[in-house]
Structure 1
Amino acid sequence: MPLSLEEYQVAQMYMVMKMQQQNTTGTEGVEVLENRPFEDDEFGKGQYTLKLYRLQSKAPSWLTTFAPADALVMQEEAWNSYPRCKSVIKCPYFTRFRLTIETIHKADNGLSENVHGLSKTELATREVETIDIASDTRDYWSYIIGRNSIDFSIFQSAMTGRGPLLDGWQERCNPVMTAYKLVTIDVPYWGFGSRLEQALLAGERALFLESHRNSFAWIDEWFGLSVEVLRELERQSDTSLNEKLGQHCLDESARGRIG
């Protein structure tokens, strides 16, 4: 990303809010059950969120032949202790399904090795893929998730002057940072587990690309905002999302009983 570590934190918060608003209607989208500070021995201090993603219209047609419409209701728990984050996604319908995304953000151009500290056995099975936000890759999932039309080969930020992103921009860009994501998926279902696994991985890949493209494309909207301002905007956005879905934010006592 053509951003500093500090800028990326704000960019990510803004992007998540805006994409959630764009993809939430009265029937599907994102419901925020919890959004609060946390502190534990594993991550230290950070922000914890618990969300439900209602994604019925995005289900592949082959999946809907044997699963009900609510099969793509996903529950996500996330621990954001930036620059380290972790998300765990489960599906109430496929109870043995589990998708874990661990992210470490570093101020480099993507060439660091084994930032997650994997063992030799884990490294032997790891598949590395580089996602370039300036690429114009299109597939089934890029259309399902959405695709902004900005051409980064000609885009330039009015506020920062950054861009365009031409071939090899990662080696020339300053500032620059990378989000190293470790995706682990477990779909232990005979007959369709492998197909579902590949579909979910392709979906995550498309989501990573689109969300990070948006983070830079919207730079003139979020640049100069503080994390504190974004937290307040986030609180307002959470309320708006739940109202769109006909839900209400839980009070503090109810939040304490979840999980």
Structure 2
Amino acid sequence: MKSSFPFQCSFLPKFSIHIETKYEDNKGSNDNIFDNEAKDVEREVCFVDIAYDEIPERYYKESEDLRYFKSEKTSRGLLQEGWRDTQDPIMCSYKLVTVKFEVWGLQTRVEQFVHKVVRDVLLLGHRQAFAWVDEWIDMTLDDVREYEKQMHEKTNIKVCHDQQEHSTNSSSLDEIEIHDKAST
């Protein structure tokens, strides 16, 4: 399975983030999963340990600490040190993250910072996906697609709303509020 989310910021045309995802039924052992896509690109491989890598303290929740979490529905959990070698079933989510910030003098710092932020977001998101397994394990593919659609709409409304708060155009904000009321 593969997915890509290229994000570009229109007010920073020299800035882009491209995240490509592939899933495989292994423990992260495929070193060549993205070789066709990035032959001439300098890469650094980072393993993200959803149980033992540190997350920012403000995001820590004991209920999402996978060293102490055990799923009631699947009995998965209590990930011990070295869990990647002992857990079954296991799936690896491979991410190829490409950041470009083509502004002289800032490029390296900004790209390194964005890579760290993306890593932190992926770590937190994958921890939550595991910790919330009891909420989604019984969902059908149609249920998942409907949930994705709802979250996409809510995210777009929030992003538009936040952008409008910083803008002087209030008529668009009224449209968002009307849409918000219609969807509730």
Equivalent position amino acid for 2:74 in 1: T
Q: Secondary structure at the match of 2:84?
A: helix
Higher relative contact order (CA 8 A, sep 6+): 1
Once the two structures are TM-superposed, the CA of residue 232 in structure 1 deviates from its matched residue by 2.2
2:22 maps to which residue?
104
User: Does the 8 Å CA contact 2:52/2:81 hold for their aligned counterparts?
Assistant: no
Q: Which of the numbers 54, 57, 82 marks the counterpart of 1:137?
A: 54
Q: Tell me the CA shift for residue 194 of structure 1.
A: 1.8
Report the structure number with the largest CA radius of gyration: 2
Percent sequence identity over matched residues?
A: 33
So what's the TM-score if we normalise by structure 2?
A: 0.78
**Count of residue correspondences:** 161
List alignment gaps of at least 5 residues for structure 2: 162-172
Residue by residue over 1:161-214, the C-alpha shift from the partner in whole angstroms, topping out at 9 and shown as x without a partner, is: 011100111111111010111111111101222221111111001001000000
Distance 1:88 1:238 in 2: 15
* Counterpart residue type for residue 86 of structure 1: S
1:41-80 matches, cutoff 5 A:
none
Where does residue 114 of structure 1 map in the other structure? 32
SS of the equivalent of 2:98 reads: strand
Matched with 1:86 is 4
**What 5-or-longer segments of structure 1 have no aligned partner?**
1-82, 250-259
Structure 2 vs 1, CA of residues 180 and 239 (structure 1 numbering), >3 Å: closer, same or farther? closer
Q: 1:189 aligns with which of 78, 103, 107?
A: 103
Distance 1:234 1:168, change over 3 A: same
CA RMSD, 1 decimal: 2.2
Say if 1:148 and 1:214, in contact at 8 Å, map to a contact too: no
TM-superposed CA distance for 1:115, in Å, is 0.6
Which residue type is aligned with residue 143 of structure 2? V
Give the secondary-structure state (helix, strand or coil) at the position aligned to 2:65. coil
